[in-house]
């Protein structure tokens, strides 16, 4: 599990291509201290497993075709910058939100504007996933847990506002229009929305809930 607080902006040292598999090496530097084989690291919000380490801070991960196809990791090249976060341990401070590192979908940057020192990014997201994105809720964007500043369901977009610290310390401040980001929706919000939808589609369950609500008003 992760907190959505990006710990480092690091470069891809190299990529080895094999059949239906890519092996990437990241220069984690000090973040590699104490890391072991099998450890979990979020790379652009995608939970990856450490498969090899070096004494110089290099850490390798194997990425299967499914992950390459459903995230933006398939677009990485040597020199690309990525957001990284080590998995948190019991007792660690949770400064952001609990995220799993399981990417829900990708979204494309379709709008960018400056508001003083802040930057507002607007992303186009498939409506089937946008229904789990709520105004003032949160969403994981390339591994960074960000508050949603607005949602436009008619145009299937949502926006986030970045403070200078986030602009400087994550890949989000370097995005160009059209680029894809990994999105992880809040699992609790998804569960609540799907439960309500199931109830509303079932006449008997809907009637039972209405009866309970009316009984509670008596």
Kindly give, in sequence order, each residue whose CB lies less than 8 Å from that of residue 88, ignoring residues fewer than 6 positions away: 1, 2, 3, 94
Range list of β-strands (E), the chain: 8-18, 21-27, 40-43, 46-53, 58-64, 81-86, 105-115, 118-124, 138-141, 144-152, 157-162, 180-185
Q: Give the model's pLDDT for residue 97.
A: 77
pLDDT level of residue 204 (50, 70, 90 thresholds):
confident
Domain 8-86 is found in CATH 2.40.30.20:
yes
pLDDT averaged over every residue in the chain = 91
Q: Is the dihedral of CA 24, 13, 45, 131 positive or negative?
A: negative
CA distance 15 to 166: 27
105-193 under CATH 2.40.30.20, yes or no: yes
Better-scored residue on pLDDT, 79 or 95:
79
Q: What is the mean pLDDT of residues 14-18?
A: 91
* CA 37 from centroid of its chain's CA atoms: 23
Each domain of the chain, given as residue ranges in start order, spans 8-86, 105-193
Evaluate whether 141 touches 160 at the Cβ level (below 8 Å): yes
CA distances for 45 relative to 20, 177, 188, 195, angstroms: 21, 20, 18, 26
Q: Quote the Cα angle for 209-212-214, to 5°.
A: 110
Residue 205 Rama label (left phi>0; alpha psi -120 to 50; beta): alpha
Query: Is there a shared CATH topology between the 8-86 domain and the 105-193 domain?
Result: yes
Summarize pLDDT for 111-168 with one digit per residue, the tens: 999 988 999 999 999 999 999 999 999 999 999 999 999 999 999 999 999 999 999 9
């Amino acid at each position: 599990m992760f907190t959505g607080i990006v710990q480092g902006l690091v470069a891809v040292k190299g990529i080895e291509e094999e059949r239906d598999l890519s092996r990437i090496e990241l220069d984690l530097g000090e973040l590699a201290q104490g890391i072991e084989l099998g450890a979990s690291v979020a790379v652009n919000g995608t939970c990856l497993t450490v498969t090899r380490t070096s004494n110089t801070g290099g850490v390798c991960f194997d990425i299967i075709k499914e992950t390459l196809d459903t995230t933006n990791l398939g677009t990485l090249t040597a020199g690309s910058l990525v957001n990284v976060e080590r998995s948190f341990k019991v007792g660690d401070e949770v400064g952001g939100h609990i995220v799993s590192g399981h990417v829900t979908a990708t979204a494309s940057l379709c709008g960018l504007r400056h508001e003083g020192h802040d930057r507002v990014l607007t992303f186009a997201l498939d409506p089937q996933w946008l229904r789990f994105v709520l105004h003032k809720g949160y969403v994981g964007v390339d591994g960074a847990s960000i508050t949603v500043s607005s949602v436009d369901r008619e145009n299937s977009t949502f926006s986030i506002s970045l403070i200078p610290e986030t602009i400087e310390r994550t890949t989000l401040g370097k995005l160009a229009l059209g680029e894809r980001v990994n999105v992880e929706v809040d699992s609790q919000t998804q569960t609540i929305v799907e439960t309500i939808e199931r109830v509303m589609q079932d006449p008997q369950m809907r009637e039972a809930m209405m009866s309970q609500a009316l009984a509670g008003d008596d």
